[in-house]
Structure formats: structure tokens, C-alpha cells
Amino acid sequence: MREDFVFISESVTSGHPDKLCDQISDGIVDHFLIQDPTSRVRAECAVSKAVIFIAVRYASSAGVDCAHTARQVIHSVGYDLPDFNPKSASILTTLQETPADPAYAFDERRLSEEEINRIAVKNQATVFGFACDQTSAFLPLPLYLAHRLSRKLGSVRMDGTLPYLLADGRVQVGVEYRSRQPVRIQSIIITTSQERPDHPKAQRVQDDLMDTVISPVFGSEPIKPDARTKIFINPDGPIIGGGPASHSGLTGRKNAVDTYGEYCRHSQKALSGKDPTRIDRSGVYAARYAAKNVVAAGLARECEIQLSYSIGLPGPLSLQVETFGSGAFPEARIAELLKRHFEFRLAGILKNFELRLLPARYPKGFYQKLAAYGQVGRTDLDLPWEKTDRAAILAEDAGRP
């Protein structure tokens, strides 16, 4: 097990083409669930230059204008370039309606234990959840800082502080660890997009980003850049135009950005573009919830949970716990506590988190908001899987004071 190392994680702004596709796909999911919470939907999106391709497979009583939803998302992200904007972009859609599955036409709020056991998953998946005590968000520090920087990079563009920035931006943060604890910032890399290569000049861009992005983000952080921190801003020059005009995008290509920055394992399956009856989405949230409560309870400083699901069964065939040597109790003991106090069956997850009902409570988009800047560790949204309301129960059952 590594004790001393440097780890680098990335985040991207909401205008990155892959994230644009995630937001379009999840915007479509939101619109289906708002109208019909029992909708089953898979939405995939690809974008390149001025063309957007959307493929949707659904079983629902809802009617969703997928092209209109895509244009709304493009507008909200802030794309208004001659070669890519919400008005002139060509949108191709292919929609396949499938027969409704009566097994999923239930109100999860009223399910009994017997009914929960009869509702099986329809896809096989191995999912992971992780938490650690490195940050207040229970995320690894490199990803936590990368998200903060990329979100700030997006906000100074949107609020007009740096009007010359365009929507596409990327951030990397490297953190040096000693004894598996973060001790210093090794590197910060920011790549921006702008309309012209020589306006503004590179030095002004560097000064502006230091003043309006990097310094404000690290102002409240206990670990700050030092004299040896390598800071690179547009090291290969800015991206001119950026976005789909420069490189293509596809739903589900930023799984590490959505989860834990590759500090731990994550499922290879996309989170965006699918309703929560897909266990490869809802299972990730359940695993994160359990891992976060383990750390909050003081049972471990780091905790990774693995759940493996098979078609036709209501819950996981396997639950594994890894604490990377940081556990106050054996991992087998923690696994037993989780089985006793947490719900990992599909219908139970839907019931506890009300995942199919959340979009109706956020009419401006729920899953669409998750599609940029991480689906876990969010402090700007009241997410049920981010609560630590079972930490005290875990600690008591484990025998901690």
C-alpha cells in the first residue's frame, strides 16, 4: 500500500463537450421523470462541430421534446458561438418507445418489505462508493480542489468577471501525500478557451486567473500553494473557440470526474442518461452513502465499498469493504454493520432516496445539475446520499464511545 505519493485529479467546466452531453442526457431524464415518475429511460448524446445526435429508448406516458431540451441546455451552459449555438445547431434524434414494464409501476413510498424483495434489477453491474476524511465534503483533496477551481472558472465567465473566457475549460490539481495524508499542493494546471489567441495576452490571462480563480479558492483552504507549487495556465496556449467546435463529446466519458477523481475505483458505466431504476446509477449513490457514514462514524479514515449486482435479483450478491489500513475495526466487521443498517436492494434505494421523485421537486433540473462538477460530494445540493444521518447508529453498534 502506498504511503507517500503524488496524486492528480481533473475536473472540467460545464461547457466541456463530454459534460455538455451528460447535461443534455440528464436533462431528458429529468423531463421524463417530472411528467411520469415511473418512466424508464436511457438517453445517449454525442456532439461534434454543429451537430448533436440524441438516441433515447424509453417506456413512459410522458411526452418530451428532446431537441428542445438540448437547446435549453446549450443556452444555459452559455454557448453562443457562430459555429455552435442553441439556435443554429443541427439536432438529430432517434426515439424508440418500448412497452411499459408493470414490475416498475409502483409507488416506492408505499412498498412493503415483501414487495421490495420481489423487485429485481434488470442489469448486471459492479459499483463503488468511497469517502475519506481529507475534506469537509468527504472527497479526496485533489478532486475536491479541482472541482472548486473548475466551478469558479465557470462562474467568472458566466458572471462577466472575465468576459473573454468561453465555456470549455479544464483543471488538474496534484497533491503530495505523506503517510496517505495530503500535505502540500504539488501542481495546478488550468486550460481555458477564448475567442482569439492574442486577446487578451497570455500574461493577463495568467494574472486574471490567479486573482479571480486560484487565490479565492485557496483562501479558505488549510493547504495552500507554496513557493514550490507548479502552476501552469494554458501551458500549450488557450483553446481557441473550444467546445464541440474543437473536439467531440459523448455521454458518460467523464466517470472519474463524476465520482472520485480516480483516487479509488469506480464503475466503468456512465451515471448520466439513465433513470434511477438502473442499478449502475442508484447503486453508486447507495454505496457512497454507506461509505460516507462509515467515515463520519469514525470507523475508518478511508472507506471504499463495492457492490455487485446480477440480473433478476433484488439486491447485491456481494458487498466488499476496503479501508486501506485506516479502519478502527476489521473490514468484515464493518461489512456486517452495513448489511444491518443500510439498504442496498434496488427498490429499497428508490424508496429511501426517492430518486424517481426528486426531479419534480427541482423543476429547473435535478439530474441535469448533477451532470457537471460531480455526482457525489456536492455541497450545493441537498442530496440524500450525502447525508451522515446513520453515522451515530453505526458508531453505537460498533461500540465506539
Of 16, 49, 48, 58, the closest CA to residue 273 belongs to: 58
Per DSSP, the three-state class of 14 is coil
Of 73, 76, 69, the closest CA to residue 34 belongs to: 69
Q: What is the mean pLDDT of residues 8-17?
A: 98
Over residues 188-239, the pLDDT tens digits come to 999 999 988 888 999 999 999 999 999 999 999 999 999 999 999 999 988 8
Question: Burial letters for 47-73: b for 16+ Cβ neighbours within 10 Å, e otherwise?
Answer: bbebebbbbbebbbeeebebbebbbbb
Q: At 81, which CATH number?
A: 3.30.300.10
Could you give the percent of the chain with pLDDT greater than 70? 99
Structural domain for 151, as ranges: 5-12+141-244
Residues 6+ apart with CB under 8 A from 107: none
Q: Kindly give the pairing relationship between strand 5-12 and strand 170-178.
A: antiparallel
| Residues paired with residue 171 on neighbouring β-strands, in sequence order | 11, 190
pLDDT of residue 2 exceeding 90 = no
Question: Is residue 106 a part of any domain in this protein?
Answer: no
End residue of a domain, out of 228, 244, 260: 244
Does residue 145 share a domain with residue 230?
Answer: yes
Does residue 290 share a domain with residue 359?
Answer: yes
Does residue 120 share a domain with residue 28?
Answer: no
Question: Is residue 388 a part of any domain in this protein?
Answer: yes
Over residues 378-401, the pLDDT tens digits come to 999 999 999 999 999 999 999 866
Question: Is residue 78 a part of any domain in this protein?
Answer: yes
Q: What is the mean pLDDT of residues 313-340?
A: 97
Question: Is residue 307 a part of any domain in this protein?
Answer: yes
pTM for the full model? 0.96
Of 308, 309, 335, the closest CA to residue 323 belongs to: 335
Of 153, 242, 162, 237, the closest CA to residue 195 belongs to: 242
**Structural domains counted in the chain:** 3
pLDDT of residue 82 exceeding 90 = no
Could you give the percent of the chain with pLDDT greater than 90? 90
| C-alpha cell belonging to residue 324 | 486501506
Question: Is residue 109 a part of any domain in this protein?
Answer: no
Confidence (pLDDT) at 352:
97
Cβ(21)–Cβ(13) below 8 Å: no
Question: Which 3-state string (H, E, C) describes 291-312?
Answer: HHHHHHCCCECEEEEEEEECCC
Does residue 303 share a domain with residue 185?
Answer: no
Does residue 43 share a domain with residue 150?
Answer: no
* Max Cα-Cα span within the chain: 66
Does residue 157 share a domain with residue 227?
Answer: yes
pLDDT of residue 1 exceeding 90 = no
How many Å is the Cα radius of gyration of the chain? 22
